[in-house]
Amino acid sequence: MESERIIIKMIKTARPDLSMFFKIDPATVAEIGKEYNATSNPNGAICAICANGEQLGIKPGEFEFVEAPEWLIKIHAGIIKKLKFRCEAQIMIEKEFIAEDEEMAEKMMDDYMMEEFADLDWIISAYKGE
């Protein structure tokens, strides 16, 4: 039987998204460079088990697997592949419009980013090497 043990290593520090609005235990954090036991649902969503025992949802691109079942690794490989494809397509569109109308291209890119990548701006920065 395949092991269901999940261990992740953080490549970005993660905190609860709404910590600025609600009182949240400051120990509910997954720090860059540290390894955490984790859980997953059948759809592949990952939660790190923080030092205080709380579960913290972790986004693709914020961690890498140290140990995970094959089915989960396959799900995440597909997620990253789709995000990379979307980024490449948007960058091509942006470059095409910049050649014609830089101001319009910038507005379109801002609108697109707000709509499509609401909380995924990290993937654009990572892909562009920023």
Q: For every one of its 130 residues, what pLDDT tens digit does the chain have, with 9 covering 90 and above? A: 345 899 999 999 999 887 667 778 888 999 999 999 999 998 889 999 999 999 999 988 899 999 999 888 888 777 767 767 777 777 777 666 665 666 666 666 666 655 555 555 555 455 454 4
Q: How far is 127 from 80, CA to CA, in rounded Å?
A: 11
Residue 29 maps to a domain: yes
Which pLDDT score, from 0 to 100, does residue 31 have? Answer: 95
Which pLDDT score, from 0 to 100, does residue 22 have? Answer: 75
> Last residue of a domain, which of 42, 68, 94?
68
Q: How far is 68 from 43, CA to CA, in rounded Å?
A: 14
Residue 115 maps to a domain: yes
Pairing of strands 55-58, 35-40: unpaired
Residue 76 maps to a domain: no
Integer CA distances (angstroms), 8 to 16, 39, 54, 65, 81, in order:
17, 10, 15, 5, 19
Residue 34 maps to a domain: yes
Q: Kindly give the interhelix angle for 102-116 and 70-100, rounded to the nearest 10 degrees.
A: 160
Residue 44 maps to a domain: yes
What one-letter code names the amino acid at 46? Answer: I
Residue 17 maps to a domain: yes
> Last residue of a domain, which of 25, 47, 68?
68
Residue 75 maps to a domain: no
Which pLDDT score, from 0 to 100, does residue 86 have? Answer: 73
Based on the domain organization, do 42 and 86 belong to the same domain? no
Q: How far is 52 from 63, CA to CA, in rounded Å?
A: 19
* Nearest to 124, CA basis, from 86, 96, 97: 86
Number of domains in the chain: 2
Q: Which domain holds residue 96?
A: 81-128
Which pLDDT score, from 0 to 100, does residue 112 have? Answer: 60
Based on the domain organization, do 63 and 88 belong to the same domain? no
Encode 63-96: b = buried (16+ Cβ within 10 Å), e = exposed: beeeebeeebeebbeeeeeebeebbeebeeeeee
Based on the domain organization, do 59 and 98 belong to the same domain? no
Residue 52 maps to a domain: yes
> Last residue of a domain, which of 45, 68, 91?
68
Taking the complete model, does pTM exceed 0.75, yes or no? no
Query: Maximum CA pair distance of the chain?
Result: 58
